[in-house]
Amino acid sequence: MGHSSRSYSLTPETFSILRDLVEERLGLYFDNGKSDFLVDRLSPLVTARGLTSFMDYYYLLKYDRAKAAEEWKRVADALTVNETYFWREADQVLALTQKVVPELLALLPRAVKLRVWSAACATGEEPLTIAMALNEAGLLDDDRIEIDASDVSEEVLQKARLGLYRERSLRSLPAELKTKYFREESGLWRVDPALHARVRWHQVNLVDQAEVERFACSSVIFCRNLFIYFSRATMLEVVDTFYRCMPRPGYLFLGAAESLLRLGTAFEFEAVGNAFVYVKR
């Protein structure tokens, strides 16, 4: 018999230690005004485990090794915000296809792969937009190009691997691209299977340095609209790993609301076409 979901009280003391644990494991930072958000998102998980308090849940996450690994996946699914859509911040995508990728292909030896990593891909709209734009520019036929996409949430990755989208996700996509790359299926839109197959999907926690290092050797990293949820310290740690592992030149694309300028990183801030990019020279 399943539990009905209920809400639990979260004392300031428990909120503080639970918030710090979430930041340590997932990188997500919640200030003191986000206590209600944590209660809303995590209460169903406390109920599902048959626990009676957030303190019990904290102990499970921190000390119960047998259960914690799977439970952290559920926490990631519950706390991540996954609102995204195709052709978002298109100036960056056009800078990638018109300037960055052609220049990198000219620089790289024929035997070297050009890796593009979408580091917080949610349900997959961003890496599929990249693949679409590269194909439109006649670049996706180059077998040196590899596109990796990752997220901390297994739940959203399952949706990304499925390749089915609601109309809302296509709201900014040019009509001709919708016609070319999508087919209606039971009220949803299925992305072209050949395009979808060009993206490799992975579960990656950006707070886990070893996991990040596997992909940060990419020449191009898109990490858009994620750092707004990170503390300054966590953001700096991730960006430093990016910089250390990326080849030269390496290009880092962030969301419009994000900036590294106050962090004092080694990346140079450059205009590429109509977009701004952080570059490792």
What residue spans define the domains of the chain? 12-79, 90-280
Q: Each residue of 133-151: pLDDT tens digit?
A: 999 999 999 999 999 999 9
What pLDDT is attached to residue 223?
97
What pLDDT is attached to residue 228?
85
Cβ 279 vs Cβ 248: under 8 Å: no
- Prediction pTM value: 0.86
Average model confidence (pLDDT) across the chain: 93
What pLDDT is attached to residue 2?
42
Weakest-pLDDT range from 61-70, 72-81, 131-140, 264-273: 72-81
Cα 50 off chain centre by: 31
User: Residue 252 above 60 pLDDT?
Assistant: yes
Please tell me the number of Cα atoms within 13 Å of 113 on its side-chain side.
11
**DSSP secondary structure string for all residues of 3-69:** PPP------HHHHHHHHHHHHHHH-B---GGGHHHHHHHHHHHHHHTT-S-HHHHHHHHHH-HHHHH
Across-strand partners of 202? 150
Q: Each residue of 203-242: pLDDT tens digit?
A: 999 999 999 999 999 999 999 999 988 888 899 999 999 9
CATH architecture of 90-280: 3-Layer(aba) Sandwich (3.40)
Over range 110-132, report the average pLDDT: 96
Residue 11 has phi, psi (to 5 degrees) of -70, 155
User: Residue 81 above 80 pLDDT?
Assistant: no
Cβ 34 vs Cβ 28: under 8 Å: no
User: What percent of the chain stands above pLDDT 90?
Assistant: 76
Q: Is 123 helix (H, G, I), strand (E, B) or coil?
A: coil
Please choose, from the candidates 141, 87, 146, the residue with its C-alpha nearest in 3D space to the C-alpha of residue 113. Answer: 146
Over range 272-279, report the average pLDDT: 95
What pLDDT is attached to residue 160?
97
User: Residue 102 above 80 pLDDT?
Assistant: yes
Cα 154 off chain centre by: 12
Please choose, from the candidates 93, 107, 97, 123, the residue with its C-alpha nearest in 3D space to the C-alpha of residue 188. Answer: 123
User: Residue 82 above 70 pLDDT?
Assistant: no
pLDDT band at 65 (very low <50, low <70, confident <90, very high): confident
- Quote the CA–CA distance of 111 and 127 in Å, as a whole number: 23
What pLDDT is attached to residue 199?
98
90-280 matches 12-79 in CATH topology: no
Q: Is 51 left (phi over 0), alpha (psi -120 to 50) or beta?
A: beta
- Pairing state of beta strands 114-118 and 145-151? parallel
What pLDDT is attached to residue 4?
45
DSSP 8-state secondary structure symbol assigned to residue 121: -
Domain 12-79, CATH class in plain words: mainly alpha
